[in-house]
């Protein structure tokens, strides 16, 4: 085998190739040679993470009943690493200029002390090329005014900002006017109460003047009684629409037609809007307007999980008419790459639904919610037959949720239908079943990833694992993801942008 050399292609070609690798692989490239170290260092260090405290919602690291304090050990190592990163940013201008994204996780109010804040402010003032700031912490641990003031140093380039919702009120207008992406993060999952709080704050801060903004991405979206309440004149450049409707879906088609350049659409319905008549109205509005959105590449339809599991007759699986309307809408989405729909499809309607999905030639991310469907060899054969390899071999993220069971013979089932050979580009698969099985979770995960060549992450009943290949080329699941990674993992943590998009939708409750 010829020796790998960067001289075989121009540096720009190598940098383009390296830019498509996962972050872990980019860091590995630095060890190949001095030339590859120079090519990959900028990308490997362009995103820096600062951690203060531990995200431990289950209390797993509490010291009660233990002879040693695991929390103290973790915090000591974390403090050392954080101190070293902050010192390097402030002392090495060349290193600081390479940082484009800064993620700050503050989970302990005691650690968000004046000492750490001063050091963090000094570091931010050194980041003249900063494009994105992500600050995640409880409502009591807000980005202090000093941090916001420090952003004035890089505000001409700052385009993406993710901060706790209650911190939006202290943002100066020059920063708001420059931003193209605003995300309001929460330590908890996106509940209806939280979305109402986000909407109230956004209306009181960003939209109070009525002046148009440069924003094209706004997450987690707005809580509206009806589509007519959405302040579209304030966000004329919107490309990614997230909206939760609480009472009526009437008028959604008109709203969508007012955003002809829309690329991503996520619609959630809750409360009275989840009634059957309004669900039908939602599908009617979508099917009538979606043909006027030629740039649409991602579609997520989410009925509030609390409403889905109420057991009312209004919240059962889709009827024949509703499945037909949904399929009509999908047939107009020729450029769709990602599809999430959490209302369940019965076994009777599954072939019809899969036939419509088969027309989406660009699809790379898919979530299927099924009613009473057993995940056995017959089901995977049906999936393989309706999603032929010639058009859907590029599927990279797949999520399956069913109220049925998973076959005991997982390993033989995947091998019988040559699942991983068919979906040879699959990098993430997630399966959720309602019925408890006799076999252990680790055994199921091991069988799911066997024979997989490109799989990088797997999920089973709410637990997620990274997948690596050992020296023999066999796929092996690593330890389960931490609570922080499950809740806040981004593209650098997930296997793919499609996986990241899918995880955000699965986090909505």
Q: Do 152 and 199 sit in the same domain of this protein?
A: no
Residues 260, 141, single domain; the answer is no
**Would you say residue 183 lies in a domain?**
no
| DSSP three-state, residue 287 | helix
Q: Classify residue 384: in a domain, yes or no.
A: yes
Q: Could you give the CA distance from residue 373 to residue 383 in angstroms, rounded to a whole number? A: 12
368 conformational bin, left if phi > 0, alpha if psi -120 to 50, beta if neither: beta
Same domain, 61 and 96: yes
Q: What is the pLDDT of residues 179-214, one digit of tens each?
A: 888 887 665 555 566 667 667 777 777 777 777 888
Parent domain of 232: 188-333
pLDDT in tens, 16-37: 777 777 666 777 777 788 777 7
Residue 425: inside a domain = yes
Residue with tokens 């998973």: 406
SS (H, E, C) 16-34: HHHHCCCHHHHHHHCCCCH
Q: In terms of domains, do 247 and 159 share one?
A: no
Domain end (from 281, 310, 333): 333
Percentage, residues of the chain above pLDDT 70: 78
Asked if 227 contacts 254 with a C-beta cutoff of 8 angstroms, the reply is: yes
Q: Are 281 and 250 in contact (CB under 8 A)?
A: yes
Q: How far is CA 266 from CA 127, 130, 250, 256, 322, in A?
A: 33, 29, 16, 11, 19
CATH code for the domain in which residue 116 is found = 3.40.50
The reply to whether 505 and 374 lie within a common domain is: yes
Six-digit token string for 124: 């931010």
Question: What CA–CA distance (Å, rounded) separates 237 from 217?
Answer: 9
pLDDT on residue 66: 43
Among 445, 284, 434, which Cα is nearest to 374's?
A: 434
Contact in structure between 43 and 10 (CB atoms under 8 Å): no
Helices (H), 92-238: 93-97, 114-126, 145-150, 173-178, 192-205
Q: How many domains does the chain have?
A: 4
Q: Is residue 488 part of a domain?
A: yes
> Using one digit for the tens of pLDDT, what is the confidence trace for 240-279?
988 888 888 889 999 999 998 999 999 988 655 556 567 7
Answer yes or no: do 23 and 57 share one domain: no
pLDDT level of residue 324 (50, 70, 90 thresholds)? confident
């Amino acid at each position: 085998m010829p020796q790998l050399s960067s001289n075989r292609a121009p540096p720009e070609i190598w940098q383009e190739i390296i830019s498509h690798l996962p972050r872990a692989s980019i860091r590995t490239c630095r060890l190949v040679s001095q030339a590859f170290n120079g090519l990959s260092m900028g990308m490997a260090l362009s995103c820096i993470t600062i951690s203060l405290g531990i995200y431990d919602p289950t209390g797993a690291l509490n010291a009660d009943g233990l002879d040693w304090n695991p929390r103290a050990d973790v915090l000591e190592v974390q403090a050392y690493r954080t101190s070293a990163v902050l010192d390097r940013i402030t002392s090495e201008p060349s290193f600081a200029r390479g940082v484009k994204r800064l993620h700050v996780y503050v989970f302990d109010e005691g650690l968000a002390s004046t000492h750490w804040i001063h050091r963090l402010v000094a570091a931010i003032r050194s980041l003249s090329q900063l494009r994105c700031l992500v600050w995640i912490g409880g409502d009591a641990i807000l980005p202090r005014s000093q941090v916001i003031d420090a952003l004035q140093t890089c505000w001409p380039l700052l385009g993406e900002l993710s901060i706790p919702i209650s911190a939006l009120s202290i943002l100066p207008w020059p920063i708001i006017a420059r931003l193209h992406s605003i995300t309001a993060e929460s330590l908890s999952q996106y509940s209806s109460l939280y979305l109402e709080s986000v909407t109230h704050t956004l209306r009181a801060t960003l939209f109070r003047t009525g002046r148009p903004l440069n924003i094209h991405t706004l997450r987690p979206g707005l809580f509206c009684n009806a589509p007519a309440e959405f302040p579209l004149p304030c966000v004329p450049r919107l490309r990614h629409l997230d909206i939760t409707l609480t009472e009526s879906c009437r008028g959604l088609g008109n709203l969508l037609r007012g955003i002809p350049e829309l690329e991503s659409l996520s619609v959630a319905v809750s409360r009275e809007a989840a009634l059957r008549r309004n669900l039908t109205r939602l599908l009617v509005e979508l099917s009538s307007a979606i043909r006027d959105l030629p740039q649409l590449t991602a579609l997520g339809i989410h009925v509030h999980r609390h409403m889905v599991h109420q057991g009312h007759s209004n919240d059962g699986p889709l009827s024949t008419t509703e499945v037909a309307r949904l399929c009509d809408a999908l047939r107009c989405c020729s450029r769709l790459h990602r599809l999430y729909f959490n209302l369940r499809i019965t076994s009777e309607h599954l072939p019809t639904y899969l036939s419509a999905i088969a027309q989406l030639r660009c699809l790379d991310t898919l979530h299927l919610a099924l009613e009473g469907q057993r995940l056995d060899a017959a089901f995977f054969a049906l999936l393989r037959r309706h999603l032929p390899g010639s058009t859907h071999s590029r599927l990279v993220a797949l999520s399956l949720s069913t109220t049925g069971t998973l076959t005991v013979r997982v390993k033989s089932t995947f091998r019988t239908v040559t699942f991983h050979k068919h979906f040879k580009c699959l990098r993430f698969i997630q399966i959720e079943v309602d019925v408890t099985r006799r076999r252990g979770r680790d055994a199921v995960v091991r069988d799911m990833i066997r024979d997989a060549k490109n799989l990088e992450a797997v999920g089973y009943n709410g637990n997620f694992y990274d997948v690596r290949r050992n020296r023999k080329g066999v796929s092996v699941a690593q330890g389960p993801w931490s609570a922080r990674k499950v809740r806040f993992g981004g593209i650098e943590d997930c296997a793919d942008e499609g996986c990241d998009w899918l995880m955000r939708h699965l986090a909505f409750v």
